[in-house]
Amino acid sequence: MPEDEIKAKLLDAALAHVPFDGWSESTFKAAIADAGVAPGLARALFPRGGVDLALAYHRRGDDEMVAALAQRNLQALRFRDRIALAVRLRLELADRELVRRGTTLFSLPMYAADGARAIWQTADRIWTALGDTSNDLNWYTKRATLSGVYGATVLYWLGDDSAEAQATWDFLDRRIDQVMQVEKLKANLRENPFGKAWMAGPGKLFETIRAPKLPDDLPGRTRG
């Protein structure tokens, strides 16, 4: 059986245990037993057990979101609405309890960096799916901004008991509107005398910043 299929089999087996035991070693061992995978092979595929399973679940959600976006007529939407749609799809395709358990795990200091990277990866997948071609400082600022919006929206969604999570989607719209206002201010800055002077001086330094070049064979690669 191909490696990816074994990973998927283990992840599928783990999902039933996560609501009770979290993304833990207990869940990992139960998944091994349920999937009928050799413990040594399972450990080689998921060295940190439940933590790596949680990250695999997060990546699966990103993949499903990108596939769902590909089925939508994005050209008919304003750009801010495309972003809102991507974030909404990402959450609607996820299981709230599994995400809640993941949030608890990645709030631990030892795994906080893993959680931050996962959110950044989601932001990157969204921007790439929407056709972002920036390769300078904007590559970073777009993903950093969207990471903040996405992270805040996830936390709101986890505590939302409104009908069809409407309060979450309203919250998301407000966050995106705030970001768009900042972008408008940045555009106005470029047009006024002070802004032009800054761009001709200190701003020149930022023009040298380039987006990272990732290897073509990197798993989950979103940039070439």
Written as one string, the DSSP assignment of 182-194 is HHHHHHHHHHSHH
pLDDT for position 219: 42
CB 48 within 8 A of CB 28: no
Would you state the pLDDT for residue 193?
Answer: 61
Closest CA to 3 of 219, 154, 199: 219
Which pLDDT does position 189 carry in this prediction? 46
Kindly state whether residue 156 falls inside one of the protein's structural domains: yes
Other beta carbons within 10 angstroms of residue 56's beta carbon come to 18
pLDDT value at residue 137: 80
40, 31 contact by CB (below 8 A)? no
Domain annotation covers residue 132? yes
> What residues make up the domain containing 198?
48-206
Q: Would 13 be classed as within a structural domain?
A: no
Q: What is the pLDDT of residues 18-34, one digit of tens each?
A: 999 999 999 999 999 99
Residue stretches of the chain with pLDDT short of 50: 189, 194-196, 198-199, 202-206, 209, 216-224
pLDDT computed for residue 184 by the predictor: 59
Residue 7 makes CB contacts below 8 A (sequence gap 6+) with: 45, 46, 56
Give how far the C-alpha of residue 27 lies from the chain's centroid of Cα atoms, to the nearest Å. Answer: 23
The pLDDT value recorded for residue 17 is 98
Domain for residue 190, yes or no? yes
101 occurs within a structural domain: yes
Structural domains of the chain, count = 1
Q: Evaluate whether residue 81 is within a structural domain.
A: yes
Residue 39 lies in a domain: no
CATH number at residue 184: 1.10.357
Q: Is 161 a domain residue?
A: yes
Contact 26, 53 (CB under 8 A): no
- C-alpha torsion angle, residues 144, 102, 158, 4 (rounded to 10): 80
Which amino acid is it at 8?
Answer: A
